[in-house]
Amino acid sequence: MTGRLPLSAGTVGGVSAEPPHCPVEVRRSARRRRTVSAYREGDRTVVLIPARMSEAEERRWVGVMLDKLAAQESRRTLGDTELFERAGRLSEQYFQGRARPRSVRWVTNQNTRWGSCTPAEGSIRLSHRLQGMPEYVVDYVLLHELAHLLVPGHGPRFWQLLEAYPRTERARGYLEGVAAAERLPKVPAPREE
């Protein structure tokens, strides 16, 4: 059984997991018992699920699989040129092109912050630790730094700019989870006897 996901462009819980031009197709299979998988097929994403799955489980699993695909795709590391182009697209989409960085690049010397911006120079730097995280997280950090080109501090005007990005809270939660996990004590390896 094949069907289009009733929520447009992979919208899960009112949050767009995919760009609007990427439809999501859910294919149910009576032979599939427990596993769920997803892949890109041309201009759409196909999610394979067991036929017995409820609509609520379907929505949840579609969101999980879209996030997994996004994480896999973002592991294909963007170079500095692609990162700069992505920042330009995000500025156009969310800030009407008003945030115009002169440079956007990955750096390896930021271990306590995800990104930084020097408005006077128009430069944005993202921590290499973001590489491999889901695209929506990288986009959030880029938007955060782009917003600093328009508003220097973290006052109400700054946060109002970021409200335009629909995955702000989710991305912040993801980053908070990563930061919390990094602070957890390491479990000692079992001793060889």
Percent of the chain with pLDDT over 70: 82
Number of H helices, E strands in the chain: 5, 9
Pairing of strands 123-127, 15-16: unpaired
Q: Identify the helix (H) or strand (E) that includes residue 75.
A: helix 55-75
What pLDDT digit, counting tens, does each position of 82-116 carry? 999 999 999 999 999 999 999 999 998 988 899 99
Predicted confidence band of residue 186 (pLDDT cuts 50, 70, 90) = low
**Mean pLDDT over the full length of the chain:** 83
Pairwise pLDDT comparison (6 vs 125), residue with the higher score: 125
Model confidence, pTM? 0.60
Tokens 């462009």 map to which residue? 9
What pLDDT digit, counting tens, does each position of 3-38 carry? 433 333 333 333 334 444 468 999 999 998 889 998
Total residues found in the chain within this entry: 193
